[in-house]
Amino acid sequence: MGPVDASPPVVAVDVGGTSIKAGVVSADGAVSRLVRATTPPAGADGKPVVDAVVAVLDGLVAGHPARRAAAVGVVVPGIVDERAGVAVGAENLGWQNVPLRDLLSDRLGCPVVLGHDVRAGGLAEHRTGACRGARNAAFVPVGTGIAAALVLDGRLFAGDGYAGEIGHVDVGGDLPCACGGRGCLETVASAAAVARRYTAASGTRVDGSRDVAARVRAGDPAAVAVWDEALDALSRGLAMLTGIVAPEVIAVGGGFAESADLVIAPLGERLADRLTFHRVPRVVPAELGDRAGCVGAGLLAWELLS
């Protein structure tokens, strides 16, 4: 047996609206000791989430010889100012202008980097997943909401924390959105919207888009109609994205893309049909699943140490 590595580990944390995922991440993005915890109600100051993250990290490093982390990467949803280390706002967490990076660094006694969950997932897919090798790419997770991480000329683009909000572009409908707008892509094409709209159309309650996909495969007319409308709206949103940033590849992830046979090829065909002179991007399934945020958070933490 070789010597035990006593070097402090690099730890990643992905804070979601319902759960917190954390793990030890190696320099090449491999995740080990992945653990999960329930995300507490956050409140405006974010303190319950800070407490929960500290508890998760304490558990992760408790059995390690160093008993501390070398660096920690934390990613969260919403609007994030990475340079300032501030979580500006997130509807599903309820906080506003929380200096998470400094709060966690003070509690943990080690360097902390704060990032956006989708952009971190895009970094991970670009470095180690479905977008590797592309200088211009987009990672689009379609889950409770829809967002995009943009890699432009080989670099992740943040737009001061506001870039990539493709879920809130107007795709021509009239459904109200939680953001205050109407006709947003999320109201038709998110995994949550697909389930909600199928229930409204059929009178049958379903647990999520995976249940709707099963009904599509069985030929349920209501399911087929809702699914087609979601793909049409998503292709419209991706056509706008393609016209502006011309990605070589678009990696689609999230709960909706778990039904890859009903999403990837049909979406790619619809997108190609909408384009004229544009470079048609390859539409591919994301590779890292729900680990993408943790992998990206870990890579950000490693950058602190380089």
Q: What is the pLDDT of residues 236-263, one digit of tens each?
A: 999 999 999 999 999 999 989 999 999 9
pTM of the predicted model over 0.85? yes
SS3 198: helix
Res. 1 pLDDT band, cuts 50 70 90: very low
| pLDDT at position 190 | 94
Statement: residue 4 has pLDDT above 60:
no
Give pLDDT, residue 146.
93
Q: Which of 3-7, 30-34, 110-114, 199-203 has the lowest mean pLDDT?
A: 3-7
Q: What is the pLDDT of residue 134?
A: 96
Question: What pLDDT sits at residue 5?
Answer: 62
Look at residue 2 and tell me whether its pLDDT is greater than 60. Answer: no
The pLDDT tens digits for 222-235 are 999 999 999 999 99
Q: Residue 296 is which amino acid?
A: G
94/118: higher pLDDT: 118
pLDDT for position 295: 96
| pLDDT tens digits, one per residue of 129-171 | 999 999 999 999 998 889 999 999 999 999 988 899 999 999 9
The percent of residues in the chain predicted with pLDDT above 90, rounded, is 76
Query: To which H or E segment does residue 139 belong?
Result: strand 137-141
Contacts of 95 (CB under 8 A, 6+ apart): 42, 43, 44, 45, 46, 49, 87, 89
Centre a 10 Å sphere on the Cβ of residue 114 and count the other Cβ atoms it contains.
28
Task: Decide: 249 and 282 in contact? Cβ < 8 Å.
Answer: yes
Q: What is the CA radius of gyration of the chain?
A: 20
Q: Give percent of the chain with pLDDT exceeding 70.
A: 98
Produce one character per residue of 251-260: b if its CB has 16 or more CB atoms within 10 Å, e if not: bbbbbbbbbb
Q: What is the largest CA-CA distance in the chain?
A: 64
Q: What is the average pLDDT score of the chain?
A: 92
Domains of the chain: 10-117+293-304 (3.30.420.40), 130-287 (3.30.420.40)
Cβ(98)–Cβ(87) below 8 Å? yes
Which two three-digit tokens encode residue 262?
A: 């009903």
What confidence tens digit (pLDDT) does each residue in 271-306 have? 999 999 999 999 999 999 989 999 999 999 999 998
Q: What is the pLDDT of residue 94?
A: 81
